[in-house]
Amino acid sequence: IGDQLSPGSSTELKPLTKVAAGSSTPRVKDKVVIITGANSELGIGRATAHQYAESGARAIYICDFDDSNLAAHKAEINALYPNVDIHTRQFDASEEAKVKEVVDDALARYGRLDVFFANAGIVGPHALFTNIDDADFMQIMKVNTLSVFLAVKHAAPAMQKTSDAKPASSGSIIGTASVAGLRSNAGSTPYSASKAAVISLAQTTAYQLVGTNVRVNAICPGLIETGMTAPTYESARARGTEKKIGQLNPTRRGGHADEIARVALFLGSDESSYVNGQAWAVDGGLSAGHPYVP
Ligand code: NAD
């Protein structure tokens, strides 16, 4: 590569060959996928389930603690993509037995598990850290961090069986972290700590899974309009300050759930086969800079 890039190099670049029209395969063809935190109507989990269905997944488990919309989401996806099996599961993503159960179900039904998107999360108390109860701190860590640990703990061995049978395809575990886990955030100390721990889990478990063909990564969304941030958006709209939401990032707007879902699709697909142990900021550039104070 160095030779090819240096001026005056005699090495000729190979010409690109055109991909024949219609020859591209669906990006996650036949993959078996588990997504937690998929009930919220505006949420990242639901948007991701749609992306995977559209991109050829064989089966998708849409899971959430709250199952009020899961049947409706299943019907909606089934109507658009009748070839995809949609399973709904109501459970707390931080309960080990339940996480194991859904992984075992995927193995029993399909003999494989390809993607686990550990996306369930809750927002933390917005208070000065000295005023935060231990119990509230532990609850955030349980839902936001332990859930990702359990996903890796149970999905990775299941994925090893899958990739042993089909070595060209890697298993992919994705945890939803946050820019709040990458950079300090005055908003909520427990939330930021819980998301920083998700990034660390992706890094350390990716290393411990050396040679297994199972990858672990974290996505770090910026401010995205979802169920979680609906109150922020509502009050900004009521005050006429909505435009301010995007002012801290160079893309100059808040993000959409679909924009996170597309990255979750890439990380779950074999297109990202060399991406491992990483924290992917999807934040309009927010974490690339810092506020300029003249
Ligand atoms: P959302 O509130 O719309 O969706 C979160 C979903 O997680 C909900 O459906 C909720 O019922 C579910 N959930 C909560 N606790 C659960 C539990 N114990 N077990 C199972 N499900 C549970 O919010 P969202 O923005 O789509 O959140 C998805 C992920 O993205 C979260 O991990 C969140 O922390 C993260 N995130 C969001 C933003 C943002 O700006 N929206 C930014 C950074 C990170």
The ipTM of this complex is 0.99
Contact 42, 227 (CB under 8 A): yes
Paired with 86 in beta bridges are 60
Considering only CA atoms, which residue is closest to atom 32 of ligand 1? Answer: 121
Rounded to the nearest whole angstrom, what is the distance from the C-alpha of residue 119 to the centroid of ligand 1? 6
Q: Taking Cα atoms as reference points, which of 45, 214, 55 lies closest to residue 118?
A: 45
Output the six-digit token pair for 13. 């670049």
- Mean pLDDT in order along the chain per 10 residues (294 residues): 43 64 78 98 97 98 98 97 98 98 97 97 92 96 98 97 66 97 87 97 97 96 95 92 87 96 98 96 92 70
Question: Residue 244's pLDDT is what?
Answer: 87
Candidates 61, 110, 191, 233; catalytic one:
191
Establish whether residue 115 lines the binding site of ligand 1, counting it when its CB lies within 6 angstroms of any ligand atom.
no
Question: Residue 25's pLDDT is what?
Answer: 81
Question: Residue 170's pLDDT is what?
Answer: 82
Establish whether residue 120 lines the binding site of ligand 1, counting it when its CB lies within 6 angstroms of any ligand atom.
yes
Rounded to the nearest whole angstrom, what is the distance from the C-alpha of residue 42 to the centroid of ligand 1? 10
Question: Residue 294's pLDDT is what?
Answer: 72
Amino acid (1-letter code) at residue 288 = A
Output the six-digit token pair for 24. 């591209």
Class of residue 52 by CB neighbours under 10 A (exposed 0-12, middle 13-18, buried 19+): buried
Paired with 87 in beta bridges are 61
Instruction: Say which residues have a Cβ less than 8 Å from residue 34's Cβ, sequence separation at least 6.
Output: 60, 61, 63, 102, 103, 106, 113, 115, 116, 117, 151, 155
Question: Residue 291's pLDDT is what?
Answer: 67
Question: Residue 185's pLDDT is what?
Answer: 74
Instruction: Say which residues have a Cβ less than 8 Å from residue 230's Cβ, sequence separation at least 6.
Output: 42
Question: Residue 20's pLDDT is what?
Answer: 58
Q: What DSSP designation does 269 have?
A: S
Rounded to the nearest whole angstrom, what is the distance from the C-alpha of residue 229 to the centroid of ligand 1? 10
Establish whether residue 146 lines the binding site of ligand 1, counting it when its CB lies within 6 angstroms of any ligand atom.
no
Give the DSSP letter string of 60-109: EEEEES--TTHHHHHHHHHHH-TTSEEEEEE--TT-HHHHHHHHHHHHHH
Contact 194, 147 (CB under 8 A): no
Q: Is 191 a catalytic residue?
A: yes
